A and B are shown apart, each in its own frame.
Chain A
């Protein structure tokens, strides 16, 4: 089985210069190995560093020490030392990310927003639209909303747009940060289905699932992170 993700000796802290240089250590010597096609759920108390792990994997946070390698085709690329262009290329081709917050782009309708990552992966407008529409339908976003910029959507609706955006690219590696946090049961079930579909096509998933049911439904393995930011 090939390794999809290899994190080793990851230290991540924050030095708050505005608070007199106070240093918060979040992750300390964190390690993680995920095989291709595996779905690993990160579990732990609030503030333990679960989101931090995902953000380090996505290149959104810069590790202080350690390696964060992800599979890109035949090779493993260390995100911790990769340059901005490399990381952007990986995000286009390999890494899909569903964050907790939807950043709203003014004037762009929901459908166009969702289509974007697929377009960036190289799909033509037609094909991207199809995929986006399928996702939006599964996530019960009414067609009426497709042309509207999501700024005025409810929290749950925004979250579903987020999820659609994260999944539309059908990336080999998916990083999911509380994807079902603001969703009702029906939509939670839809998300579970979508994650399963992703797994079925061979995607590797690392996720934070607040909801135990969802976690049990999709995770092959659970990794506990204690409050010291080490793998328990």
Chain B
């Protein structure tokens, strides 16, 4: 008998975390394969979920498969816990799994994210689940799946390098600013999902387990803890991250990814941390200290 919390509808018989147990086993098998071969895309039988493709069904299926009754779940979308997407996904799991949820990164055991990695450093034992639209980093260069499979199998990544060359030739620098291609464990070239390149360094030797789910494309991949992850570049055009010339207008942080928010129609704008939890904590800390 599954313990139903206050949100659960007693008359519905959803399985724990929505998915049936056989599906979870199938996904866990895929996850194990993915972890065994870091960065390699493992196909899985993506199920129909209560929201359409393009809304994080891959991430949801991964989360559903690994969630246990004792887990504490955080869901963010572009760094924020309070956007529609994040709220709905959190609510889905609260309803069907009756797990505790949180907005505090350090308190979560499982974090599902769309397009950002939290600023607060992760620790061993935590799992970060990424929502991935297009898992194939070569897709835009080579449309044939038959061919990209071979390229990955043969570690034939010249094409990716050609793409970067072309950026430099046309724009003077590598123009890719999000979904920046990475080399995982010295072998597979992967897509880190559309996180800003600012977050790429966080992938390298992260103590947490990083899982990637693409529902529409039906692929799962993983970066195990402490795996070496390198962002592709040229020797004379090394990988660099974005910088802002001002701190967060709300909390004063100079080390986080800032969103630009338009505040009025006279050109007014403010820059604030995209990671709402991070920003909130900093503000709370300075309020405690009495810092204005």
Direct A–B contact present (CB less than 8 angstroms): no
Question: Interface on B for A, CB 8 Å cutoff?
Answer: none
